[in-house]
Amino acid sequence: MEETVLLTVMATYTLLAALCSILFNRLKLPALIGYLVAGIIVTNVFDVTEDWHSVVEILSDIGLVMLMFSIGMEIDISKVLTQGKFAIKIALVQLPLLVLGGMVLGPALGFGFVQSIALGAILSGSSTAVVLAVLKTKDILTSEQVELLVLITIMEDIGQVIILSMITPLLAGSTMDTNALVLMIVSILAFMIISLIIGLKFVPRIINWVSDNVAKEVLVIFAIGLAFGMAILSVQVGLSMAIGAFLMGMMISPCKSCEGINHSIEPMKDLFMAMFFISVGMEIHVGVILDNIPLILIIYLIFAVLKWSTVSLGYWICDADSRIGFMSAISLIAMGEFAFIIAKEAFDYGVFTDSMYTSVIGAALVSMVMLPLLTGSANKIWAAGTNHMPAPVKKFGSILTNTRNDIFDGFESSSKMTKKAFNKGMGHAYFNIVVIAVIEVAFYWLFDMAAAWLCDVFGGELLWWEIGLVVLNLFVLLPPTARFIANAKIVSGLILNSCSQISRIRGHDRSSGFFNSLYRLNTFVVTLAIDFLIVLIVPNPLGLVEHLICLAVTALLMFIAYKKARRDAKAPLPELFCPVEAVDEADDSVSCPLTDAEDVEEQAPVSVDEPEEAIEKEE
């Protein structure tokens, strides 16, 4: 590579990016949009040679590493753990729902299963830089509320790193054989565990020692070297280099010199970050944009509605002010930096086509352009919505809010054991949902290869082996689904008790119908129904008739095991079909949901905090 090529690329691209950013800055839009537009101009106006592409790729990789390293250093883990509990709850509510929204709505847009998962991952985050830049010019939230939004975007970044780590084998699955794919999954798990456990323990000590014994510039060079070294390791195990750099930034964040390191690398980060976003824009052609304007707008609308509704739901669940929740949700409707990273990964692996990639990037640009307009009109939108809301909708919302208030008031007066049982039940239910998702992703990866292998080794019709694998899938889903239903019933029982206490105190009876119905559900039937729906939704070669055959076989086998367990008290169902330890802490009378499913309807929820008067009355 001639040095003139490097100099020409740097001069042309940086000047063009600066001019575009100045233009968009006059329009009060983020500089990031200027970088992307500069890339679009370059690829559609200039005759870009192969040497130019090579230089841009190298510089954009440096920019990606520097950007993610800087984002990682901005995450104060101790602060997140102490002050970020509210932000963690918001992230736990919205991230799964956004990914699920992408998976459900993706097929309607012509996306495949893997493409829909990638779409959901892209939709799940917001841009910290864009949100802060816009909110500085608006007066809709206080400084404390803006800081909370920053914590929420940090939790979204962490969540998207985890999601990207999980879907990377899925993105690469079509280009790898079975052995290489399994090795990649094992390597990723080992890399993440070693990084988080060993790295967080030793890297801060090393950085602190270097900071105390060498000059500042040497410390900065050492830290950057660690970032690129971690990026190399993540690439070696099959992950994006962005994840390695991000993890190293998180490892350095607890160090006393972290702020100085971040300040020192900022000019270099800004330069190479511009090159990264220019390279993203260079993949977009104007003709493809014009052909996909409807898809761009639809993806943006899906993102805006899902982001607003899930964040508002999170604030509502956490008992925050409705207006603050609405304003905060509006302020987060801008796709984050990870949207470009995940989209580029999907495009590089061949999962996204040109039109899909362009549509996603176009939707991200639209979200950044629209955010200042949305936040500027947020107060008017809120006023119009509250003043013109239909009476039935307002009444229904009032009922839900009163129910939530009763639940919170009830738990405020509950014992520590009840609160602990509730939190434990919710945590285990959330964990079981993650387990179910991992199981289905694994079956999706391995289904075709396993069916072909079984057919080749043991012979027989391929269809019957596929039916057998679907039945196996149903059986593997039974334990986590049953435990999820059991924990949901535990939580419902605790909510019923809390609501009943508040009802007795306030002299009214409301808000118990849904939770009472949930508590009385037959766990065995509900588990089979949920598992069947999951297997039906996740793509496989079988049709509806074959799925019904699988359900019938599974139900028959489970019914035989169920009846046998009912007859033989010495041979109960396996322990993993029973509720978690939270049951014993909350209600000693609740036992295995599958073996006692028939008795549920005859039982009333047992209060863990029953008032003494009620207990004496019962006696």
Report, as an integer, the average pLDDT of 609-614: 41
Integer Cα distance of 302 and 310 in angstroms: 12
Q: Does residue 518 carry a pLDDT above 60?
A: no
Give the orientation angle of helix 258-281 with respect to helix 50-73, to 10 degrees. 140
Give yes or no: residues 22 and 86 share one domain. yes
Cross-strand pairs, 126: 335
Q: Does residue 8 carry a pLDDT above 80?
A: yes
Integer Cα distance of 88 and 101 in angstroms: 20
Give yes or no: residues 356 and 423 share one domain. no
Report, as an integer, the average pLDDT of 238-243: 80
Q: Does a structural domain hold residue 384?
A: no
Q: Domain tally for the chain? A: 2
Domain boundary among 341, 376, 411: 376
Please tell me which of 181-185, 331-335, 338-342, 512-516 the model is most confident about, judged by mean pLDDT.
331-335
Confidence class of residue 157 from pLDDT cuts 50, 70 and 90?
A: confident
Q: Does residue 379 carry a pLDDT above 80?
A: yes
Report, as an integer, the average pLDDT of 447-465: 84
C-alpha triplet 219, 225, 227: angle, nearest 5°: 105
Q: Could you report the per-residue pLDDT of 116-135, keeping only the tens digit for each?
A: 888 999 998 888 778 877 88
Q: Which residue has the higher pLDDT, 490 or 248?
A: 248
Q: Does residue 586 carry a pLDDT above 60?
A: no
pLDDT at 611: 41
Confidence class of residue 298 from pLDDT cuts 50, 70 and 90?
A: very high
**317: number of CA atoms within 13 Å, CB side?**
15
Confidence class of residue 182 from pLDDT cuts 50, 70 and 90?
A: low
Q: Does a structural domain hold residue 387?
A: no
Report, as an integer, the average pLDDT of 258-286: 88
Domain boundary among 376, 407, 424: 376
DSSP annotation of 349: T
pLDDT at 516: 54
Give yes or no: residues 279 and 361 share one domain. yes
Q: Which residue has the higher pLDDT, 271 or 147?
A: 271
In percent, how much of the chain has pLDDT > 70? 81
Report, as an integer, the average pLDDT of 491-498: 70
The structure's pTM equals 0.72
Give yes or no: residues 458 and 309 share one domain. no
Domain boundary among 342, 376, 410: 376
Asked if 425 contacts 580 with a C-beta cutoff of 8 angstroms, the reply is yes
Asked if 466 contacts 540 with a C-beta cutoff of 8 angstroms, the reply is yes
Q: Does a structural domain hold residue 382?
A: no
Give yes or no: residues 337 and 481 share one domain. no
Q: Which of 48-57, 260-269, 510-519 is the least confident region?
A: 510-519
Report, as an integer, the average pLDDT of 299-309: 93
Confidence class of residue 296 from pLDDT cuts 50, 70 and 90?
A: very high
Q: Which of 24-33, 302-311, 472-481 is the least confident region?
A: 24-33
Q: Which two structure tokens, joined as six digits, stand for 364?
A: 């991200």
Q: Which two structure tokens, joined as six digits, stand for 201?
A: 């323990």
Q: Does a structural domain hold residue 386?
A: no
Q: Could you report the per-residue pLDDT of 211-236, keeping only the tens digit for each?
A: 888 888 899 999 999 999 999 988 88
Phi, psi of 512 (to 5 degrees): -105, -10
Q: Could you report the per-residue pLDDT of 56-99, keeping only the tens digit for each?
A: 888 988 988 998 898 888 877 776 666 677 888 888 888 888 98
Give yes or no: residues 400 and 341 share one domain. no
Give yes or no: residues 297 and 368 share one domain. yes
Asked if 522 contacts 496 with a C-beta cutoff of 8 angstroms, the reply is no
Q: Which of 192-201, 269-278, 400-409, 514-523 is the least confident region?
A: 514-523
Give yes or no: residues 400 and 372 share one domain. no
- CATH of residue 116's domain is 1.20.1530.20
Q: Is 335 helix (H, G, I), strand (E, B) or coil?
A: strand
Give yes or no: residues 422 and 332 share one domain. no
Q: Which residue has the higher pLDDT, 312 or 398?
A: 312
Q: Does a structural domain hold residue 299?
A: yes
CB atoms within 10 A of CB 187: 16
Average pLDDT over the chain reads 78
Domain that holds residue 267: 3-376
Confidence class of residue 585 from pLDDT cuts 50, 70 and 90?
A: very low
Asked if 250 contacts 77 with a C-beta cutoff of 8 angstroms, the reply is yes
**Scanning the structure block, which residue is given the tokens 């800055």?**
25
Q: Could you report the per-residue pLDDT of 13-69, keeping only the tens digit for each?
A: 899 999 998 988 887 777 888 888 898 898 888 877 888 888 888 898 898 899 889
pLDDT at 228: 93
Give yes or no: residues 321 and 185 share one domain. yes
Q: Does a structural domain hold residue 89?
A: yes
Please tell me which of 111-115, 174-178, 185-189, 303-307 the model is most confident about, judged by mean pLDDT.
303-307
Residue 190, CA distances (Å) to 127, 200, 234, 326, 436 in order = 29, 15, 11, 41, 21
Q: Does a structural domain hold residue 144?
A: yes
Give yes or no: residues 259 and 323 share one domain. yes
Phi, psi of 74 (to 5 degrees): -80, -5
pLDDT at 24: 84
Give yes or no: residues 364 and 428 share one domain. no
**How many angstroms from the chain centroid is the CA of residue 580?**
25
pLDDT at 83: 62
